[in-house]
């Protein structure tokens, strides 16, 4: 796009952060590389001469201010977001720039909405949490499926992953979430989050062909249960995960993702199906693609680009489907995923 605007990436050297940095460069932005590990930042910067390297720590506000100085926006890729989100948001508010993160942690996203909604709205600031594969993509699909409906009884988001090799960051974030909820699982029912001690059910979900019917964990709850209800009056929001992928991500023996192409993507493929129901009516939206971590980068960078060019519908803390035109946003990512938005 040739904007040449500087965008800070906090956690730039992480697995997802590297994809975000590459996507920013491809679109003509100037990434400002930030994070607490100066050595890893320097090594990343050496791979791209001219990179602006600015070490910063969440427990040092002045360092965050230096990292964001002169930038147009910040993308936070550093988990656990229970630790990083609030300090980086505070720095973004001080700098007067938009904040986007890729948090999949349910509790961290709840914190962002509850702690910053009023301040951000009053300041006319833009904060978009969970602008990632989990939270952002599902929210966009549900919003697109809703179409002209203003309410629905249920939203269901089913994930079919060919495999799930978690990054170290995913494991750390998951551990923090489990600790915060005391090992319980969570579902969104009757318009609120409900914490439970029992095991989730195993169900069958019929995905579009060629996948067909697959066993899924019936309440494998992801960040969509925060983003979707934040702007859509849907009392029941459920997410599902294919059993094989759920087993892989929870196994301590599953390796980290490895590159399978020249872009650094793994061989993992995904299909996400969103279904909304109102009475006896039903609407669907589907997206498929490769590598859940890699596809997070165009989701987050597209969000930043739209914010900076004024293609938004809200201010304050807002989920993807509330602040952006969901069908248009998804179609704009056709180089990275294949959306089917027929109701």
CATH number at residue 220: 3.30.360.10
Please indicate, yes or no, whether residues 261 and 138 belong to a single structural domain of this protein.
yes
190 found inside a domain: yes
Distance CA 206, CA 185 (A): 24
Q: For position 1, what pLDDT does the model report? A: 43
336 found inside a domain: no
Strands 213-217 and 99-101: unpaired
237 found inside a domain: yes
Q: What is the largest CA-CA distance in the chain?
A: 58
Distance CA 154, CA 281 (A): 11
Please indicate, yes or no, whether residues 300 and 288 belong to a single structural domain of this protein.
no
Please indicate, yes or no, whether residues 101 and 152 belong to a single structural domain of this protein.
no
Please indicate, yes or no, whether residues 230 and 319 belong to a single structural domain of this protein.
no
Q: What is the CATH number for 88?
A: 3.40.50.720
Is residue 36 within 8 Å of residue 56, measured between CB atoms?
yes
Please indicate, yes or no, whether residues 287 and 138 belong to a single structural domain of this protein.
yes
Is residue 12 within 8 Å of residue 31, measured between CB atoms?
yes
Q: For position 343, what pLDDT does the model report? A: 63
56 found inside a domain: yes
Task: Name the token pair of 102.
Answer: 């890729």
Tally of structural domains, the chain: 2
312 found inside a domain: yes
Q: For position 213, what pLDDT does the model report? A: 98
Distance CA 159, CA 319 (A): 19
Please indicate, yes or no, whether residues 150 and 284 belong to a single structural domain of this protein.
yes
334 found inside a domain: no
Please give the chain's pLDDT, 343 residues, in tens: 446 899 999 999 999 999 999 999 999 999 999 999 999 999 999 988 778 999 999 999 999 999 999 999 999 999 999 999 999 999 999 999 999 999 999 999 999 999 999 999 999 999 999 999 999 999 999 999 999 999 999 999 999 999 999 999 999 999 999 999 999 999 999 999 999 999 999 999 999 999 999 999 999 999 999 999 999 999 999 999 999 999 999 999 999 999 999 999 999 999 999 999 999 999 999 999 999 999 999 999 999 999 999 999 999 999 999 999 999 999 999 999 999 997 6
Please indicate, yes or no, whether residues 262 and 276 belong to a single structural domain of this protein.
yes
Please indicate, yes or no, whether residues 173 and 253 belong to a single structural domain of this protein.
yes
- pLDDT of 287-308, one tens digit each? 999 999 999 999 999 999 999 9
Q: For position 2, what pLDDT does the model report? A: 43
Contacts of 75 (CB under 8 A, 6+ apart): 7, 8, 9, 10, 20, 100, 101, 102, 300, 301, 304
Please indicate, yes or no, whether residues 285 and 214 belong to a single structural domain of this protein.
yes
For residue 62, count other CB atoms closer than 10 A to its CB: 10
Distance CA 44, CA 51 (A): 9
Contacts of 101 (CB under 8 A, 6+ apart): 75, 76, 77, 81, 85, 88, 112, 128, 129, 130, 131, 132
Please indicate, yes or no, whether residues 158 and 75 belong to a single structural domain of this protein.
no
Please indicate, yes or no, whether residues 150 and 262 belong to a single structural domain of this protein.
yes
121 found inside a domain: yes
Q: For position 275, what pLDDT does the model report? A: 98
Q: For position 302, what pLDDT does the model report? A: 98
333 found inside a domain: no
Task: Name the token pair of 152.
Answer: 């629905």
- Stated length of the chain: 343
Please indicate, yes or no, whether residues 266 and 154 belong to a single structural domain of this protein.
yes
CB burial of residue 200 (10 Å; 0-12, 13-18, 19+): middle
- pLDDT of 129-175, one tens digit each? 999 999 999 999 999 999 999 999 999 999 999 999 999 999 999 99
Distance CA 238, CA 236 (A): 6
Residue range of the domain that includes 34: 6-132+296-327
């Amino acid at each position: 796009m040739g904007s040449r605007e500087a965008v800070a990436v906090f956690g730039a050297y992480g697995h997802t952060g590297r994809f975000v940095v590459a996507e920013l460069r491809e679109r003509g932005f100037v990434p400002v590389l930030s994070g607490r590990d100066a050595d890893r930042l320097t090594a990343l910067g050496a791979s791209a001469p001219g990179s602006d390297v600015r070490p910063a720590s969440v427990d040092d506000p002045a360092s965050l201010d230096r990292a964001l100085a002169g930038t147009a926006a910040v993308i936070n890729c550093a988990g656990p977001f229970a630790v990083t989100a609030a300090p980086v948001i505070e720095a973004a508010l001080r700098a007067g720039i938009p904040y986007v993160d890729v948090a999949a942690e349910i509790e961290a996203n709840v914190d962002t909405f509850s702690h910053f909604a009023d301040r951000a709205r009053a300041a006319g600031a833009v904060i978009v949490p969970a602008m990632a594969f989990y939270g952002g993509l599902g929210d966009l699909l549900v919003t697109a499926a809703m179409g002209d409906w203003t309410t629905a009884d249920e939203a269901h988001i089913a994930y079919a992953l060919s495999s799930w090799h978690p990054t170290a960051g995913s494991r750390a974030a998951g551990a923090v979430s489990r600790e915060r909820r005391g090992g319980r699982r969570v579902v969104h029912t009757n318009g609120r989050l409900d914490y439970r001690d029992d095991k989730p059910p195993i169900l069958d979900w019929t995905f579009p062909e060629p996948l067909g019917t697959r066993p899924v964990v019936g309440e494998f709850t992801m960040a969509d249960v925060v983003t979707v209800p934040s702007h859509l009056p849907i009392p029941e929001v459920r997410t599902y995960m294919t059993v094989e992928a759920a087993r892989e991500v929870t196994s301590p023996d599953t390796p980290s993702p490895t590159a399978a192409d020249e872009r650094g993507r793994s061989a993992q493929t995904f299909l996400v199906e969103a279904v909304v129901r109102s009475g006896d009516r039903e609407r669907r939206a589907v997206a498929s693609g490769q590598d859940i971590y890699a596809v997070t980068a165009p989701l987050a960078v597209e969000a930043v680009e739209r914010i900076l060019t004024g293609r938004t519908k809200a201010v304050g803390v807002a989920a993807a489907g509330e602040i952006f035109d969901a069908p248009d946003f998804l179609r704009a990512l056709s180089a990275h995923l294949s959306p089917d938005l027929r109701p």
